[in-house]
Structure formats: structure tokens, C-alpha cells
Structure 1
Amino acid sequence: MTTATGGPTARTGSDAPALGFGVHFTPHMVVSRWTPAGGWTPLELVPHGPLSLSPAAMALHYGQAVFEGLKAYPAADGSLALFRPRANADRFVLSARRLAMPELPVEMFLDACERVVRADAAEVPRGHGQSLYLRPFMVAVEPSLGVRPAQEYLFAVIASPVDYFFAGGYQAIDVWCATDQIRAAPGGTGAAKCAGNYAGSLSAKAEALANGCQEVLWLDAAEHRWVEELGAMNFFCVGRGENGTDQLITPGLSGTILAGNTRDSLLTLAAGLGLDVVQRPVSVDELTAADGRVTEAFACGTAASVVPIGAVTTPSGRARIGDGRPGKVTTRLRDELAAVQYRQQADPYGWMHAVDMG
């Protein structure tokens, strides 16, 4: 395993304590290059290390860079499986298409991920809540300052042993409502997983931290009223339906909201558990209303899984969600998802993609 700077570290894949997120990297990566004349070169497994790029590489100047995030989970019998990698591969194609980049064949994406997992299987941590996070990405590497789609690209997959995305583990976080910044607008790149979306969110993240919060609650671009995402994650809340039962509510997908694989999985699990699932707009006023219409809220994504929201802070004050702690619906969905991912219960949806260790 290597550190974030590429040097060796004594940590082994079996170390359970404090892996953090995206700090340590496994010894290998997979790479391929694309040109109009040759298409994609065969995948190559190489040592994890620095990339050689021209200072004129177009990704550095015009932001042609897309990525994905998925995980390989260990099972009690020692086997490894990727969670819904085909969904990631499909979304990778859509992101590349939006940024005028070449499409990577789905089977090539799957093969690349499997190769990294096989090569670095010994590095997969097996402590509670731990997994191997994979980061496939594509960047424009043609050296040119012309403003146009590049004619040369690099695709790579790197891997990082991880545990909890937030240092505190599974506990409720406070979030800052961004009222004067937006994450995405109609017609933009909100539905693509591209680097520029994240760069544009960082000043609001710094503002959140300065206000004692861990993440940013993003509102819509037109009215600054409707909740869209939470940081780089999808948003859910639990409210009381007309008949007094719990409703699981999430904003419907649009061109400004990323179609999250974890979001889709939770919707499926919730329906299977008999929860009343509703996709509709949620206003920040509804979320923070003093009448307690919203009893729970959480965010979800590959990196963090399910993250409870304990309070929402706006420029006018702080509103606690429920009792400020992880709610029962939130925790049940998190536990059900983890049970499938770690293969502690049946996988009726065929989500787990077993890695053939050869």
C-alpha cells in the first residue's frame, strides 16, 4: 500500500483502525489511452505512481475530466464482490458523453475494476465498515491550448482501502444551507460526474465548515428554495403522510441532480420493506419547519453510504431534525444496504458482482 504522496507505508490491508477515506492507496492501477486513430489501447496493470502529463494537457486548462466511485466488499468467506459496477460503467459513459469525451465500453470498465481488485486483494481491509474504494477516471491529456474536445485521453483505475467517509463514523452531521451559491443549473453538468462540479462546490464547503457544519445543503438555481443534493450526495428525508405513516421522500431526478447508485438502491430496498416512497420536491422551509413535519433526514452516496442529518443551519438560524440523532428509518435502510453489500443476507437484486480471483 502507498501513502497519498506515493511513498510506502507500514499499514496492511488487515489493519482495522483509522484508515480514513482516500488517504492510502494500493500498489497497482490499470491504465489505457485513447486516440481517434487507434481507439482504446489494451488495459495495462502497472504500479501505482505519478502520471506524466504535459503542462499543456487539456484537462488542466479546460476541465475535461470525469470519474466514478465504487467499492469492493469482503465477505466472511474471504471472497470479494463489487457493488453494482455496471451502473457505474453506464454512468461513466453518460458523463463522458456530456463532456465530449470518448465512451469507454462497459465491459472494459468492468474488466479494469476487476483487475485492480484481483491484483490488490490482500490490501482489502476487513474491519467493520471497511472496503476497497475504486476510483475510475478519464482525463484529456492531449497537449494543446485550442478550445475544443481533446484528441487524446487517459483512463485509469486506482484503489484506496477505506472506512468511514466522516471521521466521526456513523453519527448525525450538521449541514449548511447554501443560499447564495448553486451546485448546478438546468442545461449544465449537474447530472454528470465531472471534476468541475466538485471544484465549484469547495468554497461553499469551506463556508459550511466555518459555520460549524460538515457539509453543504444545495438548493435549486432558480428559486433557491428546493433541496437538491447534500454535498456530493443525494438527499432523503422522512415525513408524516396523510394517514400518519412514515413517508420516505427524495427529490426526483433532473438535469441538476446526479443519478446516484446508492440512491437507486435505497429506493428499491425501501419499497421492499413496505415503506411509502415518494419522489417529489422538498423545500428548505418544509425541512426546517418548527412543526416537525420532517422527522428524519439523511444523505447517501458510494463514499459515505448513509449519513444522517441532525440539523440544518441557514443564515437565519439552526433547525434540528427530529431529535438530532440518526433516525430509525435511516438506520434500518443503512443496515439493510450493508447486509447486502457484505453478503450477510440474500441479494435478490443481483447487485453484487463477484470478482473471479483466478
Structure 2
Amino acid sequence: MTTNGRPAQPHHSRPGTQPVHAADAPHTRPVLCEPAVEVPEHVITIEESLDLAARLHHGHEDIELALRLIKNTGVRKRHLVQSIEATLDHPGLEERNVVYVREAKRRVPPAVTAALANAGVCAREIDAIIFVSCTGFTMPALTAWMINTMGFRTDTRQMPIAQMGCAGGASAINRAHDFCLAHPGANALIVACEFCSLCYQPDDLTVGNLLSNGLFGDAVAAAVVRGDGHGRGMRLESNATRLIPDTEEWISYALKPTGFHFLLDRRVPHTMQDLAPALVQVSAEHGWDATELDFYVIHAGGPRILDDLSRHLNVKPAIFERSRDTLTDYGNIASAVVLDTLRRTAENGLLPEGAHGLLAGFGPGITAEIALGTWTNG
């Protein structure tokens, strides 16, 4: 891949709609450093998922449709925080949340330690922790536990994000960007902790829920945004949010005695026809052409999103290869997807200094969280 070498053009947009921009000097722009991702040791393959669905829901009138949809996800395997047997058992919301807290405290530290090392900073150099999760709940947020046990300063800002769903990872990146602009030279740590398997509902037999049982996986991802402009990763230049009006019920949770029940409207797969123009608009406001960028870090909620985005942006499907790799290897890991895709982009090692790129996460609302930046090899 080669960069087009285009300098960003002056920003022009409507009053009140301006994306956030850093100072003109490149070294002052915050850098989203290479993320670290930890996945649990328990694995379920696509073959096991299909076999389980067929056996557990034999006789369901829509089982053939559900099996076909699961096959079409392109997911080869997923990682789970518990064994398949324990995942299939539902002991109740309280016990599920006990497992969530226990596994988070077990699995967050290794991801955070690796992310800090990737960024070349230590815990005491972090000024804000943005903790993202939509698959469990604690109060106080787990940021308090991290500060008390992992060496962070007691004046570290805490920013939990709990209701952005799959858009939460990109939202955290944008809020970290905003924080670093407001506090020049500061560092923000992002943690995305998603144990989607703990939302498994054995008695929910809707097609959307049956599909989600074969699509979502578990992971913890972490990354540091360095406000001093140092580090290897994506130098953040602009960010924006776009919401499709009157779609808040398309992706949602129904909170019931058994916990979170995932609701997915059949219109969701078609949202790229509205979100792709938003990516084009936000890029144009920054003086870039969204159809001619060097790299894309896109939330892979499913293959249809990537296929449609490729068509609407008129870019080759191969440009989304890293997003497809995340989906194939881990499934939809919710807010952690964009961080894992960025990790794969960094590890690929093909991007030259200054390559232009776009990062986008999509979630409930329907909301798109969008970031623009250039690649830096440190």
C-alpha cells in the first residue's frame, strides 16, 4: 500500500457541525498507539456453533434460516470466557454478573499491561481511563478497581461508557482524542471489555437472537492515546458522530429478569446506505476523499456491512481485509472490534508514514463514531 501524499486541505463545514481538530503541528496531534488484545482460552468453532444450534433448536420453524445466517457470517471461531457447557447454562442475572466481574478482573490487567508497553508509558503516566463495556455492569465502574490495584494515580479521570454497544470502542477513541486536545500532553487509556457470551439467553428463540448466538465473541482490548504525539499507530486528526434519525429501536437491549436480551431489527443490515454518505461527508469536511484513503479500520458487525460499504464507497473489498480477519477469527467482539482491527493493521506493517485512514464504529442509535488520522511508525 502506498500513501497518496495529499496534505489535508483547510476544513470547511457548517457552523455547529465542525469535527474536533488538533493543532496544526503534526507532533502535537494525539496518537492512538498500537492496541493489545486478549481473548479467552475457551474456543467454539463454526462447526460446533451450527451443531449446537441445530440440536438445541430442532423443530424451530426458522432454524434453517438461522443456520444459514450463521454460516454466512464468515466467523470461523470465537473465544469464550467459560466452557461451552457453562456458557449454555443460565444461572440467572446475578450469577452472570459475578462471572463478568471475576473474568474482567482476571483478563483486563494483561491487556492493559501490553497496551502500556506498546505505547511506551507506565500506569502513572495515564491521566484518564475510558472503560467501555455493554455486556456487564458494576458500580463503581471497574476504573476504580484498576486505579486501586494497577498503579494508576488517584487523580486519574474515570470515563465509563456502557450504552454505546458496538460503537463504544470508536466512541472511546474519540473521547480520548477530545480529552488529549483539552489537556495538551496528557495520556488516555482505553479499555474495551466485552463478554458477549454472558448475554446468551437459551429461551430467546427469535431469529435475531439465534443469529447472535453464532456471531458474538468475547475479548478484552486496550490502547493508549498519547497526547504528546509520540508512539506508533494512528495520529488522530479529526472525529465526528452521526446518528440515523428514528432508529433507536433497531439495535437495543430488553432488560428482563434473565438479563440483557439483544434485539436486532431486520433493517440493520441495510444501514450502510445511510452511514456510507456520513463517512464521505465527515471526510470531505476535513478535506479528504473517503473513497481514496490508504487504510480503513471498520467495525465488522457482519460481512454485509463490509460488502455494502465497499460498494457504496466504490473501494475494493480487499481494503477491509483486517476487519474481515477480526470477524473470522474472533466473531463480533462488540466495542473491541475496532481496536483489534487496528492491532492487525499495525502488525501487518505495510503502512508508510503519513498514510491517510478512517476508523469507524457502528452501534445503537443507529450511531456512527468516526475518526480520521494519518499513520505514524513512531
- Does the pair score TM above 0.5? no
Structure possessing the higher relative contact order (Cα contacts under 8 Å, 6 or more residues apart): 2
Give the TM interval when normalised to the shorter protein. under 0.3
More helix by share: 2
